[in-house]
Amino acid sequence: MTDFTLHCPACLSDHSPGPERYVCPRCGGNLEVRYDYEALKNALSRERLAADRDPTVWRYRAILPVQTPYKGLPLGGTPLVEAPNLAADLGVARALVKDDTRLPSGSFKDRASSVGLLRALDLGHTLVTGASTGNAASSTATLSVPLGLQARIFIPQAAPPAKVAQLLAFGAQVIAVEGTYDDAFDLSLAATAHYGWYNRNTGYNPYTREGKKTVSFEIAEQLGWLVPDLVAVPVGDGNILTGVAKGFEELVRLGLIERAPRLLAVQAAGSDAIVRALEGDGVIRPVSGDTVADSISVSLPRDGDLTVRAVRASGGWGIRVSDEEILAAIPYLARRVGVFAEPAGVTATAGLLAAARQGLLDPSWTVAALATGTGLKDIASVRRAPVGDVITVAPSLDALQRALA
């Protein structure tokens, strides 16, 4: 098993990864998994990775903090889609879309859940809980099945029906909280403390970020160990973004790439606590999260502090997009790139389009956007988007000719 420790970037203390260790015992800050990178250089050389025929995230097992062999649904190795139309529209040299809508449960969260659930098994747990706007929940439910874990999930009552249906189909016990995602989050923490379940909450459990970082490993490897100049990330709690940042930073430490990309943190205008902090003094202040992009509708981002640090350290910036821009990006991404994504799943692309309009993209750049959740997760929002409507006709050629005239 790869040795690791837990580091608190807020108070700079180090801790051993005890069973009940989620946040810093000294200051309550979010913890970061740290490895002996020198010792890992051999196991993670370009040659070793090139010879490894495993296309899943487990090709990076040497730098993942888990012991139990993964016998679950295969995941990872998602397409990095070349997007020439998007590049032309943005006025940049090259544009790519990392299509994580194709992961087993249809969202990026599978990267986090696979590592989080394996950690639960390492610690001998049989029940995993968590709060989620929907995708982390359905991901936990889906991946728990072959791993023999039971999932007990807290969601806000307003979670999109498709996500709830998915949870129920996979046999999770679903607790819909009469309140927001933030309320569900707090209740799940209280229940975890009371019952002793294993908690995989985003921005609380330090191992979710470890799964999320694999997307950066894949992007760099798919580009032949080059990195984009800018990577756009949809941001709710900010844990995907800190995972993306950690992945690229670790590749630099391992000597696999020379520099990490700038990161563009994209938030919905109605849920923009992190963008506000980036534009201001860096301090996260809660907003009343309200956006059509339910997956990133967050009042108090749980990984906000580290997100602000990561964006600033990368030389990137934050940008907000309106619900209208998000909805418009659904048919845009489908028609101009070929990827069908839910509102949060198109938000990174909407952020790139907004950045281009503001003249913030250098024409020489290669840019990448993460597509983080499939469009099938939230059909109601797709129908609210400018996608047009069906043509209804009586079953006769006459009627068809009239309708098409």
Ligand X SMILES: Cc1ncc(COP(=O)(O)O)c(C=O)c1O
Interacting residues toward Zn ion by CB under 5 A: 8, 10-11, 24, 26-27, 29
Near ligand X in 356-385, by CB under 6 A:
372-373
Rounded least distance, CB 58 to ligand X, Å: 22
How far, in Å, CA of 253 to CA of 13, rounded? 21
Per the listing, tokens 């950045």 go with 355
Rounded least distance, CB 284 to ligand X, Å: 13
Position among 113, 205, 239, 366 found at the interface with ligand X (CB under 6 A): 239
| 64: nearest Cα among 25, 142, 106, 122 | 122
Q: What are phi and psi of 209, to 5 degrees?
A: -60, -30
Rounded least distance, CB 197 to ligand X, Å: 20
With binding defined as CB under 6 A, does residue 202 bind ligand X? yes
Rounded least distance, CB 233 to ligand X, Å: 8
Position among 30, 113, 114, 135 found at the interface with ligand X (CB under 6 A): 135
Q: What are phi and psi of 221, to 5 degrees?
A: -65, -40
> What would the two tokens of residue 77 be?
């190795």
E strand residue ranges, 238-284: 262-268
Note whether 56 and 74 are within 8 A (CB).
yes
With binding defined as CB under 6 A, does residue 78 bind ligand X? no
With binding defined as CB under 6 A, does residue 144 bind ligand X? no
Position among 116, 236, 247, 304 found at the interface with ligand X (CB under 6 A): 236
Position among 130, 238, 270, 351 found at the interface with ligand X (CB under 6 A): 238
Residues 6+ apart with CB under 8 A from 15: 5, 6, 7, 8, 21, 24, 25, 31
Note whether 269 and 320 are within 8 A (CB).
yes
Instruction: Return the one option of Zn ion, ligand X, none that residue 296 interacts with (CB less than 5 to 8 A, by type).
Output: ligand X
| 311: nearest Cα among 241, 218, 228, 214 | 241
Position among 30, 133, 180, 188 found at the interface with ligand X (CB under 6 A): 133
**192 vs 267 by CB, closer to ligand X:** 267
Rounded least distance, CB 33 to ligand X, Å: 16
Q: Site map for ligand X, 87-126, x if CB under 6 A? A: --------------------xxx-----------------
Q: What are phi and psi of 340, to 5 degrees?
A: -105, 115
Amino acid in the structure at residue 27: C
Amino acid in the structure at residue 327: L
**12 vs 403 by CB, closer to Zn ion:** 12
By CB under 6 A, the count of residues binding ligand X is: 21
| 112: nearest Cα among 220, 40, 206 | 206
From the list 26-34, 133-141, 356-364, 379-387, the region that binds ligand X by CB under 6 A is 133-141
**256 vs 304 by CB, closer to ligand X:** 304
How far, in Å, CA of 41 to CA of 325, rounded? 43
Amino acid in the structure at residue 392: T
Note whether 371 and 349 are within 8 A (CB).
yes
Instruction: Return the one option of Zn ion, ligand X, none that residue 201 interacts with (CB less than 5 to 8 A, by type).
Output: none
Instruction: Return the one option of ligand X, Zn ion, none that residue 29 interacts with (CB less than 5 to 8 A, by type).
Output: Zn ion
> Could you tell me the strand order of the sheet in which 127-131 lies?
173-177, 150-156, 127-131, 198-199
From the list 64-72, 132-140, 247-255, 393-401, the region that binds ligand X by CB under 6 A is 132-140
Instruction: Return the one option of ligand X, Zn ion, none that residue 360 interacts with (CB less than 5 to 8 A, by type).
Output: none
Q: How far is CA 336 from the centre of its chain?
A: 22
How far, in Å, CA of 269 to CA of 275, rounded? 9
Q: How far is CA 26 from the centre of its chain?
A: 28
Instruction: Return the one option of Zn ion, ligand X, none that residue 27 interacts with (CB less than 5 to 8 A, by type).
Output: Zn ion
| 334: nearest Cα among 343, 355, 162 | 343
Position among 97, 117, 296, 310 found at the interface with ligand X (CB under 6 A): 296
Rounded least distance, CB 27 to Zn ion, Å: 3
Rounded least distance, CB 114 to ligand X, Å: 15
| List of residues contacting ligand X (CB under 6 A) | 107-109, 133, 135-136, 202, 234-240, 295-296, 342, 344-345, 372-373
